[in-house]
Amino acid sequence: MPEFKLPFKLYIDASGDGLGAALHQVQIINDKPVEGPICFISRQIKPTEARYGASQMQCLCLVWALEKLNYFLEGCVFEVITDCTAVKSLLNMKTANRNMLRWQIAIQEYRGNMNIVHKDGNVHKNADGLSRWPLPNDINNPAYVREEASPQIPIEGISVTDLNTTFFEEVRNSHTQDKNFSILCQLLNKDCKDYSLIHALDEVWKKSYDERRFHLLDDITYHRTKHTCVMTVVDRS
């Protein structure tokens, strides 16, 4: 059984056949630290995922594993072990790739509790085996992800707005001139929680921070709800 006060270890791996993840924990047994398994999950990749490159597949594996193992990991300290350098840099990666950017935003809620480390593949053969011989991606698999059909949405108009770098610089500068934004940026840049800063936030800001709704990308804050993630700006009114 897991001890939620102790850190977890999450081993992840992806192959051309599937995704695999092994959740471990080091517990004290007979006065000795012993690492043992808590949970194993795997699934075959979907047809739409077969087009992904190796780095994208590994990043997808992390996002999928975090979603499926959220019961164990939410609010806990844990280490992710991967043999892919792209996964290690995903939290702070500057990318124009739509999927990578979406996954980057999705894992921001674990910032401060999650440490991603790169190790050679031979240290986590557990996840490697799971990805090479995965369970079918069907409803009998607890780690199942439904294949969603692409909706046929008619496009009746397109509006394009060109935002130059000056706009983003103004947003960043405005953050430094507002108490709550300034504190928030400091908190989101830290690898651990600073409770003195958290308590300095106004109550409505503190509530959203505690719910992990704020994320920081390129020194600009974003606020996430169930279906949206929008840039936050200082109210000058």
Specify the CATH number for the domain of residue 30.
Answer: 3.30.420.10
Burial of 103 (0-12, 13-18, 19+ CB in 10 A): buried
Say if residue 28 is in the same domain as residue 79.
yes
> Which ranges in the chain belong to alpha helices (H)?
54-68, 70-73, 85-88, 98-106, 125-132, 165-176, 179-189, 195-200, 203-210
Query: Could you list the residue range(s) of the whole structural domain that residue 122 is in?
Result: 8-132
Helix axes 54-68, 98-106, angle to 10 degrees: 30
Say if residue 25 is in the same domain as residue 102.
yes
Say if residue 42 is in the same domain as residue 122.
yes
Q: Which of 96-100, 148-152, 212-216 has the lowest mean pLDDT?
A: 148-152
Asked if the structure places residue 146 within a domain, the reply is: no
Say if residue 170 is in the same domain as residue 89.
no
Asked if the structure places residue 157 within a domain, the reply is: no
Asked if the structure places residue 2 within a domain, the reply is: no
Say if residue 33 is in the same domain as residue 86.
yes
Phi and psi at residue 112, to the nearest 5°: 95, -30
Query: Which is it for the CA torsion 59, 193, 79, 138, positive or negative?
Result: negative
> Which ranges in 74-124 belong to alpha helices (H)?
85-88, 98-106
Instruction: Using the predicted structure, report yes or no on whether residue 68 has a pLDDT greater than 70.
Output: yes
Under the banding of pLDDT at 50, 70 and 90, the label for residue 160 is low
Under the banding of pLDDT at 50, 70 and 90, the label for residue 163 is low
Say if residue 128 is in the same domain as residue 12.
yes
Asked if the structure places residue 57 within a domain, the reply is: yes
- Over residues 187-205, the pLDDT tens digits come to 887 755 678 888 899 998 8
Cα 94 to the center of its chain, rounded Å: 15
| Token couple for 153 | 């949405």
Residue 229 or 72, more confident: 72
| Token couple for 47 | 């047809």
Under the banding of pLDDT at 50, 70 and 90, the label for residue 159 is low
Contact 214, 222 (CB under 8 A): yes
- Sequence length of the chain is 237
Say if residue 14 is in the same domain as residue 103.
yes
Of 86, 108, 132, which one is at a domain's C-terminal end? Answer: 132
Say if residue 24 is in the same domain as residue 93.
yes
Say if residue 21 is in the same domain as residue 79.
yes
Residue 20 or 175, more confident: 20
Report the domain count for the chain. Answer: 2
Q: What is the pLDDT of residue 57?
A: 95
Asked if the structure places residue 169 within a domain, the reply is: yes
User: For all residues of the chain together, what is the average pLDDT?
Assistant: 85
- Over residues 43-61, the pLDDT tens digits come to 999 998 999 999 999 999 9
Say if residue 109 is in the same domain as residue 19.
yes
Contact 181, 174 (CB under 8 A): yes
